[in-house]
Each structure stands twice: as structure tokens, then as C-alpha cells.
């Protein structure tokens, strides 16, 4: 098993990439602290893990709050004895996020608080725990929109994911000699509730898909396998990267409709 004896904290574990990654990491031998605000969904993730003999616990947290992130890491140390993998995955794509003219200050602030500040707070408490455990891997969920302008305006989300990439690079450089690797996972357009709720018309979905060479939305399970590589010792010489799992969208020049 690729994560045998590893201890992982995964945020946004109740659905999408977080749920798929929690199930896969546990299957590969990790002890998983599944973190989410939604008690019902994260309880279901943990139940699925335990049903097949895996090890997992629920942690309810608002990862935009300092105290909740501190408690999240303490929970992992208390329950499992340390920390080797921190997957800062939770994020939002608000339905009222639009262009610079129409996006409110409140929506912009909320998006950056959840998508960016949460990574700072996760690392603030996760890195000391990881150092005590002998090092490990931090994975931050970014997005292809950090590199490309989004065809459907989402200025707050795009800005937040650009910040995730910048933070990832700096964290990687600062902590490289401490045995801590830091990488970003950048998904392309996915068939998850997060994106499907945002692209809430067939026209919006077609407008996004026209740019994807593979011609389809990605699946959360495909992102989980990318995260697994970054979490495992197979990526031991990989840090500071933007790992694109995007169906080719960032490689393509496609004329929009």
C-alpha cells in the first residue's frame, strides 16, 4: 500500500475531490482525519472508509478560522499520533462570483478567506506537527484558472487560486530542507457539485467544455489519484510544483464558440 502507516488530514472531505481522496488514501493504508463543515456528508465519508476496513475519524471545522485549524491538527495528533500528509482541499466557488463589476466585496472576501486563508492556517499548525513526525507532504488544491482566464467570469475564485499557487511555491522553498514537500494540485473542469452548481446551464457547460481537448469533464476520482502521487513517497523529489490534471486545457489553443 502506497500510504501505509501515514497519517493524513484532508479538508473538504465530505464531497468531491476530498471525499474521493479520503477513500483512496485510506484504501492505500493511511489513517485519515476527514474534515468538513457538513456533518452529514463527512460522516458518510468516514462510514464508507470504515465499512471496508479503513481507519478514519470525523473532524467538524470551519477551516477559515484559526481555532478550528489548530483543533483539526491537534485532533490528528491525538487520534493517530502525528501528521504526514496535509491536503488543503476545501474551497468554494460562489454562485454570485462574477466579473470585477458585479462581484461584491463580501463575496470576494468570503472566497479568499475560505480558499486562501485556510491554507495559511492549515500550514501554520500542520507544519510543526509534520516536523515532529519526521516530515511529509502538503498538497494545496489550486485550479487551471490560476493559469488561464475563465471563460465564465469568476474573479474571486480565479484570484484565490492564483494566490494558492504563489503560496505553494514559497512554502515549498522555505520548508524544503525540513523534509516537507509542498505542491499544488490543479484540476481542470470537473463533474463535481462545486462546478456543476456554478455552471448551472447547458450553455455555460458547453462554453467550458469547448476548451478541453479531451472533450469531457474530469472526475473527482481522477484528481484523487493525482493527490495520491503527491502524498506518497513516489514524489519524494517533487516540491513547489503545479501538478496539472486538466484534460489538456492549459496546453491547448482552442477557439471559443
Domain ranges of the chain: 7-243
**193: pLDDT strictly greater than 90:** no
Mean pLDDT of 116-141: 98
**210: pLDDT strictly greater than 80:** no
248's torsion region: left (phi>0), alpha (psi -120 to 50) or beta? left
Mean pLDDT of 239-257: 84
Per-residue pLDDT tens digits for 26-69: 999 999 999 999 999 999 999 999 999 999 999 999 999 999 99
How many of the other CB atoms lie within 10 Å of CB of 179?
14
Query: Residue 249: helix, strand or coil by DSSP?
Result: helix
Per-residue pLDDT tens digits for 62-118: 999 999 999 999 999 999 999 999 999 999 989 899 999 999 999 999 999 999 999
CATH number corresponding to 7-243 = 3.40.50.720
- Please, is 240 exposed, middle or buried when counting C-beta atoms within 10 Å of its C-beta (0-12, 13-18, 19+)? middle
**256: pLDDT strictly greater than 70:** no
Is the Cβ–Cβ distance between 28 and 5 less than 8 Å? no
- Please, is 145 exposed, middle or buried when counting C-beta atoms within 10 Å of its C-beta (0-12, 13-18, 19+)? buried
Per-residue pLDDT tens digits for 5-23: 999 999 999 999 999 999 9
- Tell me which of 157, 229, 237, 253 is the catalytic residue: 157
User: pTM value?
Assistant: 0.94
Known catalytic membership, residue 237:
no
Looking at residue 209, what is its pLDDT? 76
Is the Cβ–Cβ distance between 123 and 88 less than 8 Å? yes
Amino acid at each position: 500500500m502506497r500510504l501505509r502507516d501515514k497519517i493524513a488530514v484532508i479538508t473538504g472531505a465530505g464531497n468531491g475531490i476530498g471525499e474521493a481522496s479520503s477513500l483512496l488514501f485510506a484504501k492505500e493504508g493511511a489513517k485519515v482525519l476527514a474534515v468538513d463543515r457538513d456533518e452529514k456528508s463527512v460522516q458518510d465519508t468516514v462510514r464508507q472508509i470504515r465499512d471496508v476496513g479503513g481507519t478514519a475519524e470525523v473532524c467538524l471545522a470551519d477551516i477559515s478560522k484559526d481555532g478550528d485549524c489548530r483543533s483539526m491538527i491537534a485532533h490528528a495528533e491525538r487520534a493517530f499520533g502525528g501528521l504526514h500528509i496535509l491536503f488543503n482541499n476545501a474551497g468554494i466557488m460562489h454562485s454570485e462570483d462574477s466579473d470585477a463589476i458585479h462581484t461584491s466585496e463580501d463575496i470576494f472576501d468570503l472566497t479568499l478567506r475560505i480558499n486562501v486563508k485556510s491554507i495559511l492556517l492549515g500550514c501554520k499548525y500542520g507544519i510543526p506537527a509534520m516536523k515532529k513526525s519526521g516530515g511529509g507532504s502538503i498538497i494545496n488544491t489550486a485550479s487551471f484558472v490560476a493559469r488561464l482566464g475563465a471563460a465564465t467570469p469568476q474573479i474571486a475564485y480565479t484570484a484565490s487560486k492564483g494566490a494558492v499557487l504563489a503560496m505553494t511555491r514559497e512554502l515549498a522553498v522555505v520548508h524544503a530542507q525540513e523534509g516537507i514537500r509542498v505542491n499544488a494540485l490543479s484540476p481542470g473542469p470537473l463533474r463535481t457539485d462545486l462546478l456543476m452548481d456554478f455552471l448551472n446551464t447547458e450553455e455555460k457547460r458547453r462554453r467550458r467544455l469547448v476548451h478541453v481537448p479531451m472533450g469531457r469533464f474530469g472526475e473527482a476520482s481522477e484528481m484523487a489519484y493525482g493527490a495520491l502521487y503527491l502524498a506518497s513517497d513516489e514524489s519524494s523529489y517533487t516540491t513547489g510544483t503545479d501538478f496539472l490534471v486538466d484534460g489538456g486545457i492549459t496546453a491547448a489553443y482552442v477557439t471559443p464558440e
